[in-house]
Structure 1
Amino acid sequence: MRATKTHQFFSLKLLLLGVLLAFILLFLLRTNLSSAENNNGNILSRKTLVPNKEYSSSSSPKPALKENENNQRNNCKQTCAKIPPTLAQTLIHYTTSTITPQQTLKEISVTARVLEKKSPCNFLVFGLGHDSLMWATLNHGGRTVFLEEDEGWIEQIRRRFPTLESYHVTYDSKVNEADGLMDVGKGPECTAIGNPRYSMCQLALKGLPSEVYDVKWDLIMVDAPTGYYEEAPGRMTAIYTAGMMARNREEGAETDVFVHDVNRLVEDKFSKAFLCEDYMREQEGRLRHFRIPSHRDGSERPFCPTIE
């Protein structure tokens, strides 16, 4: 068993490093192409603005122009080939870490594929864990926000990774209240589409930071709160709120929502009920991926479509 765990751990490290290296290569390629296009554009612009005689076949560019072009090339060589400090920090951290992220290789790959298509984007994560630096890096150039119930843990992570954006959240429902909240969620106040900040539904989280309600999230991951024993804060409200944020987006938008630990009763039942089985695109291990369209198109779209 120990040898198996060690093999899985190193396999996970190799996958993470492979994903990050591929991302870095893509980033550098795009940057170099963009720089080349800009340089060509600048040269063309100068040719248009400067008298033709300076660029004729019988004369060479002025020394000042040559020096300026050489400086631009040198500056690009110095800056374009460097990876951002956050990417370097992430590579070093996961290469030297002995802690395995909470999700498996295959589970991580589900979200990584969506991020590859949508990033840079707005990514909201319920939970702050050992995989948070990875998610923020895979969404390089976008905004990744983490919501965490443990203030002490937030402070620990901020000291180690000050670039991560995280906020403290208080959950007022427990796992042992799930059955009652499931009944509540069937009422008209919970199926009405709107901003969860102003919702009358008991399942809606209303104490989140204002920016969480104001941003239109492209991806949402529910991997918190704790949820693994009866008296612990449950994920019922986080799942419901994620689904309502997705439905309340502008017309035509789609939101990818991921729920982890669906092997547990609450995550299984609430993700099917409030993110809807017909919106589910994939399940890998303990992770489910839903794609929820906007419900603000004026049609009489049901809260959950009927599975045919």
Structure 2
Amino acid sequence: MDPEPFRPAEPAAIERTAPDDDPRGTAALLVDSRGRYLLHLRDANKRICDPGTWSIPGGDREGAETSREAVERELLEETGLVVPLEEFAVVDSLSPEGVKGRVRVYLGAWDGDADDLPCPEGIMFRHFEAATVPYLTMCPWTKEVIDLHQAQGAPVPVPSRASSGGRARLHVVGVHLYLEREGRVLLGLRHPDSAYAGATHHFLAGHCEQESAVACLVREAAEEAGLSVDPADVELVHVVHVVDRPGGRPRMQLVFRARRWTGTPEVREPDRCVSWDWWPAEALPDRVVPYARAAIEGIRAGRPYTEMGW
């Protein structure tokens, strides 16, 4: 019998397996057409790498992911962006325990408004000129990456249609828990210093990460208020399609009712929510997030959908 002819592996199959020496860390350096860098302010006072510093989006590879797969996933989870990326540099980093690691950095172009980006992790996103970077509290390896980029003449990749808005715009997906007990609705009073809706009442809520909407709801209920919700007891009762201002980032806010739950609401994230209270549905507090109020009114009226800000 003749031997089987040699067949090279398909390129996709090669890329699906990360080399043994591929760095665990990945990050994306995004530059706009004015040469500004998109930076992410990391949480302070947490046991994370480089707390309280300006850095760039990214994270570690998971399982058998390649660096490219990981950076694309992390960029989507942290910013909602899908941007063409090219390999740029590998730099050293330190873990919270002082263990040395490496980060593979990719370069991309994005000309959007940083204020429109979701921020499920950290504090905020902002664009900065290179001249401003030395005056920021910077993550050391991010500063090294920007210095390298400047040393190479600060090339700006040409934005593709995908990164400059030539296709359907990605929406932020939020999930919200509607609990009603004896005609009263559960609302949380957000911390006065919260980046969003400070000193205002809101649903128990969160942004979808790499998970289903119902899985996100169950996770947020446990993390924010110590409540246990069975996915089988959840039903979608209202959707609010909202934009904060003309041209702002669209948000699809999904509101789910839990028919049953266990536990008593308690403050689990005091930096975001200072109390949980049951409010009469017909006498809500004065300060309620507008789309949350609209959703409650829609649910009580039997309407499944509301649009706001368009």
Asked whether the two chains share a fold, i.e. TM above 0.5, the reply is no
The higher relative CO (CA closer than 8 Å, separation ≥ 6) is in 2
**Which TM-score applies when normalising by structure 1?**
0.26
| Rg larger for | 1
Q: Whose helix fraction is larger, Structure 1's or Structure 2's?
A: 1
Q: TM-score, normalised by structure 2?
A: 0.26
